[in-house]
């Protein structure tokens, strides 16, 4: 049995956010921030040093790698640190890629300090730590699988919401235009709509995509 501290890496492109996380976490016994990263690429590079137990990862870093992509890189390495997503976004379009990438937990930035510290300890122990709203969304997805959009369907519909044509979406996602149309057809059936505009509106109201 050891009382070694839990070593943390803070990955967020906003210095103020990193400073706030550090201020909260370093007041907690047994938690120590050993490094910070301003980009997802830096987080991946720093996580391989072997002296980090939990990475607190934002999802969006502007240009370059996303937090979900960095999470996948970090968790793919045997013996790598756990990743706890700490973000402001709680739509399916954000949650699902992060969970699929191997994140151990998903917390929102407005969580109380005690919840943040508890989530870090839970993640360090290898157990799942989810914000209540995130857990509810995942449970609802499991209860109603017929209306749940796949990751690809979510990507396609998000690009529709951005105003892209089917051809442009295909180019962006390396799909044929026919495949894009097939994905949209399934989306229309699942959401019980008959147009791109209605699909975007329905998915937005359900929190399936972010606007």
Confidence band, pLDDT 50/70/90 cuts, at residue 105 = very high
Question: Exposed/middle/buried for 119, CB within 10 Å: 0-12, 13-18, 19+?
Answer: buried
**Which stretch of DSSP H or E encloses residue 9?**
strand 6-11
Global pTM reads 0.72
Tell me how far apart the alpha carbons of residues 95 and 210 are, in angstroms, rounded to a whole number. Answer: 11
Q: Give residue 85's pLDDT.
A: 95
The mean pLDDT value for 11-36 works out to 94
At residue 185, the pLDDT reads 92
């Amino acid at each position: 049995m050891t009382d070694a501290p839990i070593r943390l890496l803070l990955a967020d492109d906003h210095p103020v956010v990193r400073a706030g996380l550090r201020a909260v976490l370093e007041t907690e016994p047994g938690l120590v921030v050993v490094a910070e990263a301003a980009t997802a690429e830096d987080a991946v590079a720093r996580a391989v040093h072997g002296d980090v137990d939990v990475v607190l990862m934002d999802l969006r870093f502007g240009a370059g790698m996303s937090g979900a992509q960095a999470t996948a890189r970090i968790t793919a390495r045997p013996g790598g640190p756990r990743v706890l997503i700490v973000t402001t976004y709680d739509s399916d379009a954000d949650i699902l890629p992060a969970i699929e990438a191997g994140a151990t937990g998903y917390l929102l930035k407005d969580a109380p300090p005690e919840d943040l510290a508890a989530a870090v300890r839970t993640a360090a122990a290898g157990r799942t730590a989810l914000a209540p709203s995130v857990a509810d969304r995942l449970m609802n997805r499991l209860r109603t699988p017929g209306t749940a959009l796949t990751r690809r369907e979510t990507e396609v519909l998000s690009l529709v919401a951005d105003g892209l044509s089917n051809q442009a979406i295909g180019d962006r996602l390396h799909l044929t235009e026919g495949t894009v149309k097939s994905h949209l057809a399934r989306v229309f059936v699942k959401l019980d709509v008959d147009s791109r505009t209605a699909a975007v509106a329905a998915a937005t109201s359900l929190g399936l995509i972010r606007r």
